């Protein structure tokens, strides 16, 4: 179902797409998240622009055509022609998304298109997003001028959350973090000494069901340190923080200009909280070489999560600033999913068990079974697996006592494993030598002096002579 606060802000000419009756009927019946609806609306808008008709005109034309002729297929022909032209400009996956959106629009308006077979994206046509390296992520953080943007990069890379998970992340999702509160009970800081590292992230239960579920994941100490600094800064601005406060906030305010007509306006403030009554300078014109500012007072302000679109835009913007390159023939530009790929490849390179890696990333059916009560996952085992690779995962170059301890523990476990393997190998060699000596003893009956020569060449002459004396050969 469509959320009550859904607002497309996608226009076809001068009209909002949601102002068309056919589009409202489609959005009301369409299942999925709001960001899926936004993608579908954009795709339908592209189709309407291409054919030069509004959504309502498309529905009315098809209804009239089917009334005159039950074999009416004009819209099917238009959609196929649109798809073929788009294939010359976009990837196969993008074109399939546009095709599916238009077909869905007609379907939910009760005028299903007769499509024998939907287009298919072949495996050789698929282009995955670029996988970012630790050095590239650090470079992108260097170009971030907002602490929120840095936090998006570091939490996205160390947790591997999908973009919808980052969008829903609140302070209460960090279940192993010890918060420091003021007298009124609002969060003002983080006690790192009492927090568990790596720190687990637990989203609302609904995120662990379905085809693209989130994983049982964690973040390193450097992410907690940056989060602590950001929480303290937001508290200093006057924001009242609770467990429900979004980690990546967007501030929407009603402002009243103090000069001219003193009109009111609903605006987004750039990553900064201003308490009601604050006087701010608001940019109202950037068309010339100089910015034009107007004095305004903040009358109301609300805090909401940053949109999925802006999360993706943040990563793309920082990648462009940092000059991160990619091969357009083989991959797509860096996105939030690139941060997810970083965690997966880093866990694999650290030698973490593949089953545990899939559970951390969210590619395991055991996650849904765990949250539905059918099975139980050992969270501490997952934490231990993540901790063993934490020195590789952490984005910051800063070396902390905990990260050194985790690395030493990992090296100690590796040394013990090598010692066990060495002892086992030595035992196998001893057993093999004994078997060879016994075999030589049996061969004495057949080979005589030649067996002694063979024992000498194998370095087992002493053992062979002792065996002959013992057996009486």
What number is the average pLDDT over the span 169-190?
95
Task: Look up tokens 């074999």; give the residue.
Answer: 71
Average per-residue pLDDT for the chain = 86
pLDDT band of 165, cuts 50, 70, 90:
very high
Which tokens belong to 435? Answer: 């078997």
pLDDT band of 367, cuts 50, 70, 90:
confident
Closest CA to 33 of 442, 309, 370: 309
Least confident range of 48-52, 56-60, 331-335: 331-335
Summarised one tens digit per residue, pLDDT across range 187-202 is 999 998 899 999 999 9
How many angstroms separate the CA atoms of 393 and 360, rounded?
13
Partners of residue 147 on adjacent β-strands: none
Report the range out of 13-17, 259-263, 363-367, 465-469 with the highest average pLDDT.
Answer: 13-17
What does the pLDDT read at residue 432? 72
Of residues 419 and 299, more confidence is placed in 299
Please say if the pLDDT value at position 147 is more than 90: yes
pLDDT band of 283, cuts 50, 70, 90:
confident
Of residues 282 and 437, more confidence is placed in 282
pLDDT band of 298, cuts 50, 70, 90:
very high
DSSP letter at 174 equals B
Summarised one tens digit per residue, pLDDT across range 245-256 is 999 999 999 999
Summarised one tens digit per residue, pLDDT across range 93-135 is 889 999 999 999 999 999 999 998 888 887 776 778 899 999 9
How many angstroms separate the CA atoms of 464 and 467, rounded?
5
What does the pLDDT read at residue 410? 63
Using an 8 Å Cβ cutoff, are 106 and 75 in contact? Answer: yes
Please say if the pLDDT value at position 288 is more than 70: no
DSSP letter at 224 equals H
What does the pLDDT read at residue 407? 59
What number is the average pLDDT over the span 30-44?
82
Closest CA to 109 of 27, 225, 54: 27
Using an 8 Å Cβ cutoff, are 436 and 460 in contact? Answer: yes
Using an 8 Å Cβ cutoff, are 30 and 1 in contact? Answer: no
Summarised one tens digit per residue, pLDDT across range 215-242 is 999 999 999 999 999 999 999 999 999 9
Residue 372: half-sphere exposure toward Cβ, Cα within 13 Å: 9
Which tokens belong to 60? Answer: 């009315």
What number is the average pLDDT over the span 448-469?
66
Using an 8 Å Cβ cutoff, are 40 and 68 in contact? Answer: no
What does the pLDDT read at residue 400? 55
Please say if the pLDDT value at position 396 is more than 90: no
What does the pLDDT read at residue 226? 95
Which helix or strand (DSSP H or E) is residue 251 part of?
strand 249-257
Q: What proportion of the chain, given as a percentage, has pLDDT over 70?
A: 85
Backbone angles phi, psi at 249, to 5 degrees: -85, 155
How far from 264 is each of 141, 249, 256, 279, 297, CA to CA, in Å? 36, 23, 4, 14, 10
How many angstroms separate the CA atoms of 473 and 470, rounded?
8
- Using CA atoms of 340, 342, 345, 348 in order, give the dihedral in degrees to the nearest 10: -80
* Count of residues in the chain: 473
DSSP letter at 334 equals P
- DSSP state string for 73-123: -HHHHHHHHHHHHHHTTS-HHHHHHHHHHHHHHHHTTT-----SS-----G
Which tokens belong to 6? Answer: 């859904």
Using an 8 Å Cβ cutoff, are 416 and 233 in contact? Answer: no
Of residues 405 and 316, more confidence is placed in 316
């Amino acid at each position: 179902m469509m959320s009550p606060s859904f607002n497309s802000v996608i226009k076809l000419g001068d009209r909002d797409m949601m102002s068309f009756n056919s589009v409202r009927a489609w959005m009301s019946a369409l299942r999925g998240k709001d960001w899926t609806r936004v993608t579908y609306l954009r795709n339908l808008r592209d189709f309407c622009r291409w054919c030069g008709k509004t959504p309502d005109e498309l529905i009315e034309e098809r209804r009239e055509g089917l009334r005159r002729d039950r074999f009416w297929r004009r819209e099917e022909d238009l959609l196929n022609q649109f798809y073929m032209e788009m294939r010359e400009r976009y990837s196969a996956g993008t074109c399939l998304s546009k095709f599916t959106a238009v077909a869905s629009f007609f379907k939910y308006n009760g005028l299903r298109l007769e499509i024998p077979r939907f287009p298919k994206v072949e495996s050789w046509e698929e282009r995955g997003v670029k996988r970012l390296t630790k050095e590239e992520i650090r470079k992108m953080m260097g170009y971030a001028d907002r602490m929120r943007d840095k936090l998006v990069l570091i939490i996205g890379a160390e947790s591997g959350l999908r973009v919808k998970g980052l969008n829903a992340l609140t302070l209460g999702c960090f279940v192993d973090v010890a918060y420091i509160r003021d007298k009124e009970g609002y969060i003002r800081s983080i006690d790192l000494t009492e927090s568990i590292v790596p720190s687990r992230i637990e989203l609302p239960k609904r995120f662990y069901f379905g085809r693209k579920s989130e994983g049982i994941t964690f973040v390193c100490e450097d992410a907690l340190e940056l989060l602590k600094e950001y929480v303290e800064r937001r508290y200093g601005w006057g924001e009242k923080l609770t467990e429900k406060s979004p980690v990546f906030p967007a501030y929407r305010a009603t402002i009243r200009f103090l000069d001219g007509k003193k009109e009111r306006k609903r605006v987004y403030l750039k990553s900064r909280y201003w308490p009601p009554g604050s006087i701010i300078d608001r940019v109202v014109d950037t068309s010339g070489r100089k910015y034009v500012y107007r004095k305004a007072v903040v009358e109301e302000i609300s805090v909401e999560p940053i949109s999925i679109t802006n999360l993706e835009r943040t990563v793309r913007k920082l990648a462009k600033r940092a000059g991160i390159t990619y091969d357009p023939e083989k991959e797509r530009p860096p996105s939030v999913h690139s941060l997810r790929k970083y965690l997966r490849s880093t866990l694999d390179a650290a030698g973490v068990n593949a089953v545990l890696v899939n559970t951390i990333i969210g590619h395991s059916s055991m996650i849904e079974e765990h949250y539905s009560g059918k099975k139980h996952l050992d969270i501490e085992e997952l934490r231990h697996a993540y901790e063993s690779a934490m020195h590789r995962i952490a984005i910051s170059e800063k070396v902390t006592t905990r990260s050194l301890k985790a690395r030493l523990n990992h090296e100690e476990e590796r040394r013990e494993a090598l010692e066990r393997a060495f002892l086992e190998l030595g035992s196998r060699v001893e057993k093999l030598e004994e078997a060879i000596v016994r075999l030589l003893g049996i061969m004495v009956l057949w080979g005589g002096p030649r067996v002694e020569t063979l024992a000498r060449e194998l370095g087992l002459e002493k053992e062979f002579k002792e065996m002959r004396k013992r057996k009486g050969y």
